[in-house]
A and B are shown apart, each in its own frame.
Chain A
Amino acid sequence: MAEDAKKEARLHIEDMNCASCVVNVEQVLKNVAGVASVKVNLATGSATVQYDPSQATLVDMKKAVEDIGYKVMLNTAQLQVSGMTCASCVEKIEKAVSQIDGVSRVVVNLSTGTARVEHDPTLASLAEIKRAIRELGYGVEELAAGTALDREREARQREIRKQLINMAIAWPVGMLVMLGTFQPYWVLPNVIPDWMNNKVYLFALTTPLVLGPGRQFFVNSWNGLKRGLTDMNLLYATGIGAAYLIAVINTFWPDAGFGGREATFYEAAALLIAFIVLGRYLEAVTRGRTSEAIRRLMKLQPKRARVLREGQEIEIAAEEVQLDDILVVRPGESIPVDGVVLEGYSSVDQSMITGESIPAEKKAGDEVIGGTINKTGAFKFRTTRVGKDTALAQIIKLVEEAQTTKAPIQALADRVAGHFILGVHALALAVFVFWFFLGYQTWFSPESHLVLTPYSLTDMGVFGFSLLVSITVLVISCPCAVGLATPSAIMAGTGKGAEYGILFKGADAMEHTAELQVIIFDKTGTLTKGEPSVTDVVAMTGFANEEVLRLAAVAEKNSEHHLGEAILRGAQAHGIEVVNPDSFQAIPGQGVEAKVAGQAILLGNRRLMSERQIPVDVSLSEAERLENEGKTVMFLAVGNRLAGIIAVADTLKETSAQAIAKLKRMGIKVAILTGDNHRTAQAIAHKLGVDRVLAEVLPEDKAREVKKLQAEGLRVAMVGDGINDAPALAQADVGIAIGSGTDVAKETGHVILIKDDLMDVVAAIQVARQTLHLIRQNLGWAFGYNTLAIPIAAGILYPFVSQIVSPELAALLMATSSLSVTLNTLRMRGYIPPIRRGIVP
């Protein structure tokens, strides 16, 4: 498939509960002809599909997913269409709209003059759909639009409502069944009437429970199974089904040898359903909270904009704002899109995008960001980026994409979760065979009990006992916890990062950031402000200081190098007129060569002077003194004779030293990478307390320096300007692009810091470490739980304690296990990176 022919769609999928669902959805989507790659994220409930539109359509993909029992949620737009007169208009509109790639379904109603369009907004925007209808000559207005986010929230609400209803049935009935079952024990005969222990009564209570709230497990597992797919529902269905079946047999055919009338498992079936439904309810509630960050970002997108058209101020939908429109923003309003202020003055709260808590002052010429809030004054601005190009849209896309990616640490969990259900069934089979042929005869004791119950196993035959243990194994195992451990934490972590203006481009970036050993900072513009100024001019015999500065400024006049610009500014500050040079040539990493009034001028570092064999010995002591002060020294030669030296110094950013000190305290080695000579670089390194200096590095060699450190077995991050340092950022294990501003899409780094603040490097590492810490805890819990619980359920302790775990206790443990992972992840909600709390990490 040609790369350029590929398209990407993001499907929001409802009803995915566990890691097996992820495997199932990935599998069916990969089987659709034309689909090149699929990434499914359980925590976000989404699938990112790359496909060839000439072979696969959104409809094919939707059908494939829905065929295995999941629902695909698309945006639904309700449009009011005017100008339709007959049935052919309907056909025409339906045909035109359905041909747009990304439209799944379109239904036009002639009598009401409306159109209902289901579409994937990443492929077909509403504006595109409306344009297609307008081009046919009809008028179109949006009535109501349901975004995928709204639909996802609705779906979650539906799931919560559904499980609440199920709980309202399952819990009271389950408690009645349990009380009835245990009526003969303890003091219960004194308080509970005998008839409540009647097996037919228990049957009458349990049956509606199995067919009502329990039905979902049977239907879902059958839907998957008939297509060769398994999920968590299968474990529940087998457990509940088997317990219920044995109970029914023992009720109506007590002599059949399944343990008799006293060995009914109605309470097991009923409480299994109750606990599983409780688990699903709590998960639906809590899982919604892990995606709060992205939800909050999406909520920032303003719906309306006030635009100036032909001198009139009119209100339109924000997505219909076009480039170069003039918009008006009043105090308290959200800024609809990105732009540049034309007139007016105000302060704007940009904290939601940049993480900067202090409002930014905006005046004519300043940039404003869509989604931020205008606080005080009113202003007009010209739009520079609209729709999917706005900073907010790019950030949302970046965070969403990051949340869809998988961390390397997840590979093991995926492998386990993918085979978990089958593995557990195979284990249940083995456990059954073991207890049937060997275990029961060897260890069974009629006095044995189920854990935490007085329920005696006296009458339990070999089949009943083996089956009970086998069912418990099925019920206690919990692949959900394994599947959710990593993606839910990544989701919470990337969201938390975005809150502080730290954008992780993927789960791997997050993991690598947490494991960094060395951070290399590009000096100019990263540790320093990137605005150097001339500090010293030393003229050699026969030249005046002003002359040296003038010649240097003329030579650098056409240069774009920041040192050249500093010299030019220095000359202008001294009122020196700077004429154009006759010729100019930049020598990368060394300096410049120019001709001024017939004189050959060279301005650059020692290497340039040495290559051109210009003696600089006379100025060396002075140059060294300046370099020891951390200044960059340039030598000026006129006609092959040294004319003077010029020292330029850049100011360190306020937070540089503090950030480096904190990084070192976190156990990370810090290095500086610069084109300056060793002496200057050392002086700066000394000021900042940096361990290692990589000096005199040419721009093209930066990536090689990173590679060298990696060859030492170190995990290296490079912090720099996302555009100039792109190769080094790409080479590093983690490229951190700092101060990207709002154009995040252009950045090459793995981590993007919107603000130009080195403290955010520390914050990024802290967020990543906390996320990885959560992942490790989650995985430890999930694997630990299953490793411990499954053998216990299989009866490994029975020979010693004569007790086995009951299926209902197994269900409780399983539900708790899955929930504990989600709850642990939710701790990230209240997390504030220590550096932002003002606490030393």
Chain B
Amino acid sequence: MKQLKPGWVSAFIYIGISLIAAGIFLAVTIAGDYTWVARAGGAAWIFLLSTIILMPIVIPTVRKRLKQKDQVERR
């Protein structure tokens, strides 16, 4: 089986979660009285901060999991 690259897997996860967070933010703002700039700007800031928070959590976790999986498969 082709080896999964931790960098790509991690990026998929943290970008995915951050997009969801930004999406939720956007969805909530739509219900309120906000300008589109505030909505977009806010969503972008939420996305950026979420990515920054998630990267150091997701990358080592994924790397560890894939390493463990790799070791199990080698055995």
A234 to B52, CA, bound (A): 9
A437 and B45 contacting across the interface, CB-CB below 8 Å: no
Q: Which of B46, B55, B59 has the most C-beta atoms of chain A within 10 angstroms of its own C-beta?
A: B55
A461 to B41, CA, bound (A): 11
B37 and A436 contacting across the interface, CB-CB below 8 Å: no
> CB within 8 Å of B: which of A448-462?
461-462
Our pick among B28, B41, B55, B59 for the contact of A467 (Cβ within 8 Å) is: B41
A228 and B52 contacting across the interface, CB-CB below 8 Å: no
Residues from chain B with Cβ under 8 Å of A227 in the complex: 59
Residues from chain B with Cβ under 8 Å of A225 in the complex: 52, 55-56
Indicate whether A257 reaches chain B with its CB closer than 8 angstroms. Answer: yes
Indicate whether B53 reaches chain A with its CB closer than 8 angstroms. Answer: yes
B38 and A432 contacting across the interface, CB-CB below 8 Å: no
Indicate whether A422 reaches chain B with its CB closer than 8 angstroms. Answer: yes
Our pick among A242, A256, A429 for the contact of B53 (Cβ within 8 Å) is: A429
Our pick among B10, B28, B53 for the contact of A437 (Cβ within 8 Å) is: B28
A425 and B37 contacting across the interface, CB-CB below 8 Å: no
Our pick among B36, B38, B50, B60 for the contact of A228 (Cβ within 8 Å) is: B60
Indicate whether A463 reaches chain B with its CB closer than 8 angstroms. Answer: yes
Indicate whether A510 reaches chain B with its CB closer than 8 angstroms. Answer: no
A429 and B41 contacting across the interface, CB-CB below 8 Å: no
> In the assembled complex, how far is the CB of residue B50 from the closest CB belonging to chain A, in whole angstroms?
7
A258 to B34, CA, bound (A): 12
B56 and A228 contacting across the interface, CB-CB below 8 Å: yes
Residues from chain A with Cβ under 8 Å of B58 in the complex: 228
B35 and A461 contacting across the interface, CB-CB below 8 Å: yes
A238 to B35, CA, bound (A): 24
A225 to B49, CA, bound (A): 12
Residues from chain A with Cβ under 8 Å of B60 in the complex: 27, 228
B57 and A422 contacting across the interface, CB-CB below 8 Å: yes
Residues from chain A with Cβ under 8 Å of B63 in the complex: 228
A437 to B49, CA, bound (A): 17
B38 and A425 contacting across the interface, CB-CB below 8 Å: no
Write out, one digit per residue, whether chain A residues 431-447 have a CB within 8 A of any chain B CB (1) or not (0). 01100110000000000
Residues from chain A with Cβ under 8 Å of B53 in the complex: 422, 425-426, 429
A462 to B28, CA, bound (A): 15
> In the assembled complex, how far is the CB of residue B30 from the closest CB belonging to chain A, in whole angstroms?
13
Indicate whether B42 reaches chain A with its CB closer than 8 angstroms. Answer: yes
Tell whether A463 pairs with B56 under 8 Å between CB atoms, given A428-B49, A470-B45.
Answer: no
A229 to B56, CA, bound (A): 5
> CB within 8 Å of A: which of B1-36?
7, 10, 25, 28, 32, 34-36
Tell whether A463 pairs with B38 under 8 Å between CB atoms, given A242-B45, A432-B46.
Answer: yes
A462 and B38 contacting across the interface, CB-CB below 8 Å: yes
> CB within 8 Å of B: which of A253-281?
256-258
Tell whether A432 pairs with B49 under 8 Å between CB atoms, given A258-B41, A462-B38, A466-B42.
Answer: yes
A425 to B50, CA, bound (A): 8
Residues from chain A with Cβ under 8 Å of B45 in the complex: 242, 432, 467, 470
Tell whether A238 pairs with B42 under 8 Å between CB atoms, given A228-B56, A426-B53.
Answer: no
A257 and B49 contacting across the interface, CB-CB below 8 Å: no
B41 and A230 contacting across the interface, CB-CB below 8 Å: no
Residues from chain B with Cβ under 8 Å of A230 in the complex: 52, 55-56
> In the assembled complex, how far is the CB of residue B53 from the closest CB belonging to chain A, in whole angstroms?
5
Residues from chain A with Cβ under 8 Å of B34 in the complex: 462-463
B35 and A257 contacting across the interface, CB-CB below 8 Å: yes
A467 to B45, CA, bound (A): 8
B38 and A461 contacting across the interface, CB-CB below 8 Å: yes
> In the assembled complex, how far is the CB of residue A192 from the closest CB belonging to chain B, in whole angstroms?
31
A432 to B29, CA, bound (A): 13
> CB within 8 Å of B: which of A621-671?
none
- Give chain B's interface residue range (CB within 8 Å of chain A): 20 to 34
> In the assembled complex, how far is the CB of residue A576 from the closest CB belonging to chain B, in whole angstroms?
79
> In the assembled complex, how far is the CB of residue B57 from the closest CB belonging to chain A, in whole angstroms?
7
Residues from chain B with Cβ under 8 Å of A428 in the complex: 49
A225 to B55, CA, bound (A): 7
> In the assembled complex, how far is the CB of residue A475 from the closest CB belonging to chain B, in whole angstroms?
14
The residue in chain B whose Cβ has the minimal distance to the Cβ of A429 is: B49
Residues from chain B with Cβ under 8 Å of A256 in the complex: 37
Residues from chain B with Cβ under 8 Å of A234 in the complex: 52
Our pick among B42, B49, B59 for the contact of A425 (Cβ within 8 Å) is: B49
A238 to B50, CA, bound (A): 12
The residue in chain B whose Cβ has the minimal distance to the Cβ of A241 is: B48
Residues from chain B with Cβ under 8 Å of A229 in the complex: 56
Residues from chain B with Cβ under 8 Å of A433 in the complex: 25, 46
A794 to B49, CA, bound (A): 16
> In the assembled complex, how far is the CB of residue B67 from the closest CB belonging to chain A, in whole angstroms?
9
Tell whether A238 pairs with B41 under 8 Å between CB atoms, given A227-B59, A422-B57.
Answer: no
A422 to B59, CA, bound (A): 14
> In the assembled complex, how far is the CB of residue B62 from the closest CB belonging to chain A, in whole angstroms?
9
The residue in chain A whose Cβ has the minimal distance to the Cβ of B61 is: A228
> CB within 8 Å of B: which of A398-435?
421-422, 425-426, 428-429, 432-433
A226 to B57, CA, bound (A): 11
> In the assembled complex, how far is the CB of residue B45 from the closest CB belonging to chain A, in whole angstroms?
6
Residues from chain A with Cβ under 8 Å of B56 in the complex: 225, 228-230, 421-422
Our pick among A421, A422, A426, A437 for the contact of B32 (Cβ within 8 Å) is: A437
> In the assembled complex, how far is the CB of residue A464 from the closest CB belonging to chain B, in whole angstroms?
8
Residues from chain B with Cβ under 8 Å of A238 in the complex: 48-49, 52
A426 to B50, CA, bound (A): 8
A467 to B44, CA, bound (A): 11
Our pick among A228, A422, A463 for the contact of B41 (Cβ within 8 Å) is: A463
Q: Which of B41, B50, B57, B60 has the most C-beta atoms of chain A within 10 angstroms of its own C-beta?
A: B41
The residue in chain A whose Cβ has the minimal distance to the Cβ of B63 is: A228
Write out, one digit per residue, whether chain A residues 33-66 have a CB within 8 A of any chain B CB (1) or not (0). 0000000000000000000000000000000000
> In the assembled complex, how far is the CB of residue B28 from the closest CB belonging to chain A, in whole angstroms?
7
> CB within 8 Å of B: which of A1-59?
27
B37 and A463 contacting across the interface, CB-CB below 8 Å: yes
> In the assembled complex, how far is the CB of residue B24 from the closest CB belonging to chain A, in whole angstroms?
10
A258 to B44, CA, bound (A): 13
B32 and A425 contacting across the interface, CB-CB below 8 Å: no
Residues from chain B with Cβ under 8 Å of A429 in the complex: 46, 49-50, 53
> In the assembled complex, how far is the CB of residue A594 from the closest CB belonging to chain B, in whole angstroms?
69
Residues from chain B with Cβ under 8 Å of A226 in the complex: 7, 55
A229 to B10, CA, bound (A): 13
Q: Which of B56, B58, B60, B63 has the most C-beta atoms of chain A within 10 angstroms of its own C-beta?
A: B56
A461 to B42, CA, bound (A): 12
> In the assembled complex, how far is the CB of residue A26 from the closest CB belonging to chain B, in whole angstroms?
13
Q: Which of A27, A228, A421, A426 has the most C-beta atoms of chain B within 10 angstroms of its own C-beta?
A: A228
A466 to B49, CA, bound (A): 14
B42 and A432 contacting across the interface, CB-CB below 8 Å: yes
Residues from chain A with Cβ under 8 Å of B32 in the complex: 437
Residues from chain A with Cβ under 8 Å of B10 in the complex: 228
Residues from chain A with Cβ under 8 Å of B41 in the complex: 257-258, 463, 467
Residues from chain B with Cβ under 8 Å of A467 in the complex: 41, 45
> In the assembled complex, how far is the CB of residue A48 from the closest CB belonging to chain B, in whole angstroms?
23
Residues from chain B with Cβ under 8 Å of A422 in the complex: 53, 56-57
A27 to B49, CA, bound (A): 23
Write out, one digit per residue, whether chain A residues 798-819 have a CB within 8 A of any chain B CB (1) or not (0). 0000000000000000000000
Residues from chain B with Cβ under 8 Å of A242 in the complex: 45, 48
The residue in chain B whose Cβ has the minimal distance to the Cβ of A470 is: B45
A606 to B37, CA, bound (A): 96
B-side residues, CB < 8 A to A, are: 7, 10, 25, 28, 32, 34-38, 41-42, 45-46, 48-50, 52-53, 55-60, 63
For the complex with contacts A228-B55, A242-B45, A256-B37, 5 further pairs of A-B residues with Cβ separation under 8 Å are A242-B48, A425-B52, A429-B53, A462-B34, A463-B34
A-B contact pairs, 5 of them (CB 8 A): A229-B56, A238-B49, A422-B57, A461-B35, A466-B42
Q: Shortest 5 CB-CB distances between A and B: which pairs?
A: A228-B59, A257-B37, A463-B38, A429-B49, A257-B35
